[in-house]
Structure 1
């Protein structure tokens, strides 16, 4: 597994706690973790037993093969070699320390030079002449007025972890040196600073991320390092939901550092241990396969590929999985009950992407590797409409400026726009697209619609390019005019994720196969300012002057590049 970033999620300004907390586990948390860890331990024990049995069988075959190849001549040779080795006497070292010659007059062994120096051991400090009454003992260094280093370290850590109201946080799902992690970055648009904040180790490769503000009813407690959590309204939270190669959905608090386990797990680990391989086939060489599990209404049984949070009905989370199902999760319910609703008949292959309609909270859009897209009301899924798109679906997005329009990016590099009102319920009937964009030479992996500027579209793909498009036309359904505004290779390798900022109109975050995060200030491009400047002015927004020239990398990386440039000069 190579290094890569599979997904990016923005956190809006003013949402994060100014001083994040450290997690403290209570008895309920420990019991919850024990239950999860027990399942993982049983999986590991099962796999270890299989590996041991396979190794023992291989050793037995090797021993039988060696016995057949052995001859009497070999035995005689071995006996001769053994007797020769035993009969050979060992050389005895008769020289000792006393035999080492010394120079005349060498008195170093008596340490006369340090004879009159006092020892600094405990005996000298606690001797009979020590003023014991003047000693004081503090159980905590924080109570000792002479110990200030720890307080300084805590204050420094508090300042380093501070998130200002003008800061955005970005969360990346990254695999680095075969270690899956969540990396959190802080971005200050005014100073063009992008730097690391904290990270979390994961147990499985992350595939998708979704931010949500619904307060998770977890029993986890926090060691508060400030007064932000105490004063924050309880009806809002700051969480990141994550889908991985495992069937469960894990939800972490963004405001907690050093999280040991997720605040909430959607799914049943006891029932969804589909990732444990089992041996199959016969013969000396064993091959591994993933155990296929029957589809369940209560939980996924394969990797979770996509997540979408409902901004209107805030406790609802939708998920699409490689098990070919779409599931709805009610975060306000006891998760032991499983998924709130499950849709198994929408698609015949992996569900790559799902998204709620921002204008109609009950309507879902889904796209699959079966080369179809579906639009359906979650209250009546049998009345769905859809279309065949001709290639595997990579990403889907509702147009926030058009209640019924949406975009689909495909594996063949095309981006297609549909009107859900004109789509048939029968996939065998034609469903013409409103327009098509030949966006990339390879798969168009990433797609996002600008929430601040109408008709501003971002795409990215395996051709390593990130492109900005301008879509104009008759709002009543007439012919659209599509033009490429800007395109750039940001040095990210194949680009898997590109997401517009929720706060700044022309700020785009992108990442890909080089496990590198970049911020592209599209407003630094003259063509983008010319095309979108008027629309920004009409919306009451303005572009600010930037010093970076358009691309902002992580602060540490920029320092390294500057040093390299100085060396070359």
Structure 2
């Protein structure tokens, strides 16, 4: 399954990503980052051993008694079983390495480093360099994928002109990923270097936040880890103002103050992290349950929007957190978005399938009414996004396996189109930051699809010429016809094809969904 995705805008990625080099400096950096995790693992192991001491002693006593009774038998005495382990250890000491008498068995990472190979693979290196090249016209899409209990980041390269999408490289993760956010602040190996970087922050079921460099290939370890650092002290299990103690559920990088990133956690706190020191700068405890989402205001660089499982949404200035504006929404918050085209307003997607739209300037208390409430899905709205380039265009995705495009002009939302893309339950849907009608969608089946919304007649009618965006007139894509002897592989695929065909040309208004 793919639990989160993140578009990377054109031109920010290095044209020729570097291959990871584990030199002495990098080894020292990894060693320092890994020390805290090793110390915590040792502490956990010591506790586990202490708790099981009695049981282990009892088992050892029984085993010893059994061994003695066995060795007392005349038929087994000749095997000297009491000294069996000591004999094995002595034999291992004599043969530490089967290649101990060989000289010059040195491992080289590549043929280019091996002095005994004089014919270098120049042609192969050039071909590989060309294959890995990222052009300024290419987008990257980062997908947090879990398959067979193994989690990793898949970095896709998307060529819009060719409608080509493929995995460029991937990175291994230590735990199930829950959220992603992109940032360009250089840290870790590139800290202090001029220019901007290309990084992704990852929140997982672990309480730490990992930040990975997307311009490096085959990276073994993240460039920074935000979390518990003092290896001399055991990680606390209770809420504190230094680090998270539960899963990280939401991330938001501050584009105005580039060294700051905010995190929302299941430990009920929201924390601000200083990327120059990788330390927690502030911690907020205004929610009473898991905090699912956090978003920086697009204009006011110190204002935060947060949503929680305590069924509330809060807006506050991080410089004066005691003054918090709160709205009650009636269900667990799934996601939040400021409206980039009207920065005084924000959207809230909730578990009961509703989208609410609020004006932050309303001072009517927690029960302040929304500007509109949209019944988007019968099931939870598991994914939500606002088009950054087209005013009034939003997308909702649900565990009912459908995505819907909505026009919210004049605060009177109507559905433009609905699709079942065959990706399973929708866990993430996000508009491209460079192209107004490119939409990436992923879900429970572990597939990522990029959808061109401009090919839909309803989208063209609804958003034509809005805010200077001219939707091109393109021919409607007709569904492919199956041969007479071909059948869909499963009932789910049959339903997906049927939904696709019925929804593609029959766009409808859903006035009944507008409350």
Secondary structure of 1:402's match?
coil
Secondary structure of 1:422's match?
coil
Largest Rg, 1 or 2: 1
Measure, in 1, the Cα distance between the counterparts of 2:46 and 2:138. Answer: 50
Within the candidate set 298, 301, 323, 1:358 is matched to 298
Give the CA deviation at 1:544: 7.1
Secondary structure of 1:445's match?
strand
Which residue of structure 1 aligns with residue 263 of structure 2? 319
Measure, in 1, the Cα distance between the counterparts of 2:297 and 2:127. Answer: 44
TM-score, reference length from structure 2: 0.78
Could you list the per-position Cα deviations for residues 171-197 of structure 1 after superposition, in whole angstroms to 9, with x for gaps in the alignment?
Answer: 011111111111100000110000010
Secondary structure of 1:360's match?
coil
Secondary structure of 2:321's match?
strand
Which residue of structure 2 aligns with residue 234 of structure 1? 194
Measure, in 2, the Cα distance between the counterparts of 1:175 and 1:407. Answer: 29
Give the CA deviation at 1:8: 0.5
Change (3 A) 1:59 1:237: closer
Measure, in 2, the Cα distance between the counterparts of 1:155 and 1:339. Answer: 44
Change (3 A) 1:488 1:59: same
* Native 8 Å contact 2:406 2:415 kept in 1: yes
Secondary structure of 2:189's match?
coil
Give the CA deviation at 1:57: 5.7
Could you list the per-position Cα deviations for residues 145-180 of structure 1 after superposition, in whole angstroms to 9, with x for gaps in the alignment?
Answer: xx25x2222122111111111110000111111111
Give the CA deviation at 1:315: 1.9
Could you list the per-position Cα deviations for residues 86-113 of structure 1 after superposition, in whole angstroms to 9, with x for gaps in the alignment?
Answer: 9xxxxxxxxxxxxxxxxxxxxxxxxxxx
Change (3 A) 1:200 1:164: same
**Structure 1 position 306 matched with structure 2 position 279:** no
* Native 8 Å contact 2:184 2:197 kept in 1: yes
**Structure 1 position 505 matched with structure 2 position 436:** yes
Change (3 A) 1:526 1:540: closer
* Native 8 Å contact 1:182 1:201 kept in 2: yes
**Structure 1 position 372 matched with structure 2 position 312:** yes
* Native 8 Å contact 1:387 1:423 kept in 2: no
Structure 2 unaligned regions, length at least 5: 79-111, 481-488, 494-515
Change (3 A) 1:388 1:152: same
Could you list the per-position Cα deviations for residues 361-417 of structure 1 after superposition, in whole angstroms to 9, with x for gaps in the alignment?
Answer: 111100001000001111111121111100000000000111111000001111111
Give the CA deviation at 1:334: 2.1
Measure, in 1, the Cα distance between the counterparts of 2:228 and 2:477. Answer: 47
Which residue of structure 2 aligns with residue 396 of structure 1? 336
Which residue of structure 1 aligns with residue 379 of structure 2? 442
* Native 8 Å contact 2:455 2:476 kept in 1: no
Which residue of structure 2 aligns with residue 206 of structure 1? 177
Give the CA deviation at 1:272: 12
Number of residue pairs matched by the alignment:
445
Within the candidate set 194, 215, 229, 1:255 is matched to 215
Structure 1 unaligned regions, length at least 5: 87-137, 222-232, 276-291, 474-479, 552-559, 565-569
Measure, in 1, the Cα distance between the counterparts of 2:61 and 2:201. Answer: 54
Measure, in 1, the Cα distance between the counterparts of 2:62 and 2:115. Answer: 67
> Greater shift after overlay, 167-176 or 27-36?
27-36
* Native 8 Å contact 2:456 2:476 kept in 1: no
Alignment of 1:394-543 (within 5 A): 394-424=334-364, 426-427=365-366, 430-473=367-410, 480-535=411-466, 538-543=467-472
Q: Which runs of 4+ in 1 moved over 6 A?
A: 53-56, 59-67, 271-275, 546-551
Within the candidate set 6, 9, 12, 2:3 is matched to 6
* Native 8 Å contact 1:267 1:299 kept in 2: yes
Give the CA deviation at 1:239: 1.0
* Native 8 Å contact 1:274 1:293 kept in 2: no
Could you list the per-position Cα deviations for residues 104-143 of structure 1 after superposition, in whole angstroms to 9, with x for gaps in the alignment?
Answer: xxxxxxxxxxxxxxxxxxxxxxxxxxxxxxxxxx985798
Measure, in 1, the Cα distance between the counterparts of 2:3 and 2:271. Answer: 22
Secondary structure of 1:34's match?
helix
Change (3 A) 1:409 1:304: same
> Greater shift after overlay, 38-47 or 201-210?
38-47
Which residue of structure 2 aligns with residue 37 of structure 1? 34
Give the CA deviation at 1:268: 2.1
* Native 8 Å contact 2:40 2:231 kept in 1: no
Measure, in 1, the Cα distance between the counterparts of 2:479 and 2:146. Answer: 26
Change (3 A) 1:549 1:457: farther
Higher relative contact order (CA 8 A, sep 6+): 1
Change (3 A) 1:545 1:293: same
Secondary structure of 1:421's match?
coil
Secondary structure of 1:509's match?
strand
Could you list the per-position Cα deviations for residues 5-54 of structure 1 after superposition, in whole angstroms to 9, with x for gaps in the alignment?
Answer: 11101111111111100122444432332233233233334444566677
Alignment of 1:80-91 (within 5 A): none
Measure, in 1, the Cα distance between the counterparts of 2:325 and 2:352. Answer: 23
- What do you get for the CA RMSD once the two structures are aligned? 3.4
* Native 8 Å contact 1:374 1:386 kept in 2: yes
Alignment of 1:538-553 (within 5 A): 538-543=467-472, 545=474
Measure, in 1, the Cα distance between the counterparts of 2:479 and 2:238. Answer: 50
Which residue of structure 1 aligns with residue 21 of structure 2? 24
